[in-house]
Structure 1
């Protein structure tokens, strides 16, 4: 009988020594950063002032749109709506604009500048709480779509999409509008490294976020280390998720928030049916991942009263060691069963190992800091079960695109030539988007 992917944690007491004294606890807490883990730095502070700002009310969430008119216009004519992605707290729309408008080649304008020169009006959709439920923020995206239709002069179809989770939010919003028999007037949908079938943060690192959070609590009123990983958005996006440092059980169905969202999206037809569906992946498409040896130690931190060992995810198998941690007398060791080695697969990367190592001041090789966050098989919306993950994440997707395009739920997809940082704007991806949008 097939075994579903799972994690098992053994908790024990050290055979010698004593538990931590208040002084040792204080000393340990002082060495561990309390900053929230797994956030992504989308860009530097932006200086471009939007031509207009919209308040976007939803029933369960709120947001803001920053509008930048194209071709020196003072009105909306050719809307390009683009939603912010997975992170904690409110969106920083000036930084988002700056990120996607940074020159990707010397002497070449940024992507947004080029879109504006071609007549597109950039409408960035931001959220007051990026970490809340996808369905809630989809109400914000829906409000932006409705407002754009109302404000638009003429009948130019909308282009709607987003980066990272923003692509999932707008995917859901458009599909829901169609299900409600409302005309979203969108001709093209575009996702940028969006985890259509789920994202990946190593299970051992999720556990460490919970474990060390208790040893170095955040200041009152500020988010703590594990607040992003326990958020509704993380539960809905991550293929494998654990609720705490002690959890043993199946990892792909741990949270009902994910299983319910996947089911709800399927009931809506998975994708909107009327727009042309485009997507780009920050991962390579030829099946070449990053050289991270499955099962090997990524970092091993030893202190007088605490320790932490993190291994790259082993490739399936039964009760494979992924690491452990201890503080005082409390010791934990974790193993996984039938979990694929996702750290080194082709995909948009996140410095997850680096972020955790930095938080506890562990030494880590620069080559080991980053692993796959959005596998290319997910960003390209390859057809497979998003819960079972019955797929080889190292597939040569370029061959599939040419030979069997119906294996993808997106109509057209582009891959980067290297496994670049999640949401990065490379020349390859930017030029592909510009080329496809010029077909409108």
Structure 2
């Protein structure tokens, strides 16, 4: 990310609010990705290929598609995510089991899912053509990558292309949508309107974000709704069959399956700007509460000249998704860190739900409170769109690699 500008305000001595995106900064990992055994280039993306045994070449490939962010996929970050950042070295485990690892990246991670699915389709077909053995492919991805590969396999089947895939998997993918608090979306657009701090607003309004989010607002005063781009994506996915029919379909959730949510009191203050000279002092964001006309954000840009009243953002009838069981993001903590450059900011609850467990295992929609907080273990597994799924023992960071999930997946890959 480029170095953020320091802006001068006409009625303040200095403003130093830092720009950020939904997922925060995109820092370089401590360890660079090792040189791959093969590097594949595609129209719109690339893949890093690591053989289990260089003598045999591509023999038992497993394709992992990258998730959502801004800009080009970063090989070092892709490697670190799978090998060093979690508590389970997934790349090593795969290669030790005789499987080749194919890391699929995109030229633009925030592009439409349909567009990046074309990249995935190229990768799948190349792996099918270059594979030397007869073990079927395993194809999937992390977060949005699970939707990208799902769409790609569906389209390949509809167009009668032999994708040779025996297992499809998704790792904390938002099959029934993801959640970014309306309060944070409103803050993003408010910062853009007031001071031209555009990064987070642009990220929220990117094509992929519009397709992933259950409820979305393009501007501060917009009513939270399903974005037209999500509607179009779901229509296109349905046109290609909704789910691939040939491979076994597996789903992994970083969220708990017990219905136990996060320790985030509904309606509580999640973030409050308290610094005496902060240009956004008194701005306050609240945890989502169900009900009518619930206050989720009070946004205030302090001005000596031509002061304006605070903007209040309210919601109607939304489930309490901030605290829902699921894979989590440090959404409010990220916001606090970036706002704190301008002065003191309080944040009692940094982490909130991003991919509800019921969405990751495709067993319930997000419209009703009781569905979002469902005890998945008590539901009929056949009500999921997946053939088999697993939830984490506790609510963990979104798409984090753990031994619990990693070993479960390895046990179910093509033999």
Say whether the 8 Å CA contact 1:43–1:99 is kept in structure 2. Answer: no
Q: TM-score, normalised by structure 1?
A: 0.85
Q: TM-score, normalised by structure 2?
A: 0.90
- Residue aligned with 1:333, SS: strand
Q: How many residues align?
A: 396
Q: Distance in 1 between matches of 2:240 and 2:392?
A: 30
The answer on 1:416 being equivalent to 2:402 is no
Per the alignment, residue 4 of structure 2 pairs with none
Q: Aligned-pair distance for 1:344?
A: 0.6
Higher relative contact order (CA 8 A, sep 6+): 1
Task: Select between 173-182 and 207-216 the one with higher mean Cα deviation.
Answer: 207-216
Change (3 A) 1:39 1:357: closer
Q: Distance in 1 between matches of 2:363 and 2:22?
A: 29
Match of 2:118 among 139, 160, 172: 139
Match of 2:16 among 10, 31, 38: 31
Per the alignment, residue 7 of structure 1 pairs with none
Matches within 5 A, 1:231-380: 231-247=206-222, 249=223, 251-253=224-226, 255-302=227-274, 303-304=276-277, 305-307=279-281, 308-314=283-289, 316-327=290-301, 328=303, 329-330=307-308, 331-361=310-340, 362-365=344-347, 368-380=349-361
Q: Aligned-pair distance for 1:243?
A: 0.2
Q: Aligned-pair distance for 1:188?
A: 0.1
Task: Select between 34-43 and 95-104 the one with higher mean Cα deviation.
Answer: 34-43
Matches within 5 A, 1:23-422: 23-24=10-11, 27=14, 30-39=15-24, 44=29, 45-57=31-43, 62-73=44-55, 75-102=57-84, 110-217=89-196, 224-247=199-222, 249=223, 251-253=224-226, 255-302=227-274, 303-304=276-277, 305-307=279-281, 308-314=283-289, 316-327=290-301, 328=303, 329-330=307-308, 331-361=310-340, 362-365=344-347, 368-384=349-365, 388=367, 392-400=371-379, 404-422=380-398
Q: Aligned-pair distance for 1:424?
A: 0.6
Per the alignment, residue 6 of structure 1 pairs with none
Change (3 A) 1:311 1:390: closer
Say whether the 8 Å CA contact 1:100–1:110 is kept in structure 2. Answer: yes
- Residue aligned with 1:343, SS: helix
Q: Which runs of 5+ in 2 are unaligned?
A: 1-7
Q: Distance in 2 between matches of 1:163 and 1:100?
A: 10
Change (3 A) 1:118 1:22: closer
Change (3 A) 1:435 1:144: same
Provide the aligned C-alpha RMSD in A.
2.1
Q: Aligned-pair distance for 1:376?
A: 0.3
Say whether the 8 Å CA contact 1:317–1:338 is kept in structure 2. Answer: yes
Q: Distance in 2 between matches of 1:277 and 1:319?
A: 40
Q: Distance in 2 between matches of 1:71 and 1:264?
A: 39
Q: For residues 62-108 of structure 1, what are the alpha-carbon distances to aligned partners after superposition, in whole Å with 9 as ceiling and x for unaligned?
A: 00100001134351111101100011111012321222122855xxx
Q: Distance in 1 between matches of 2:293 and 2:183?
A: 14
Q: Which runs of 5+ in 1 are unaligned?
A: 1-20
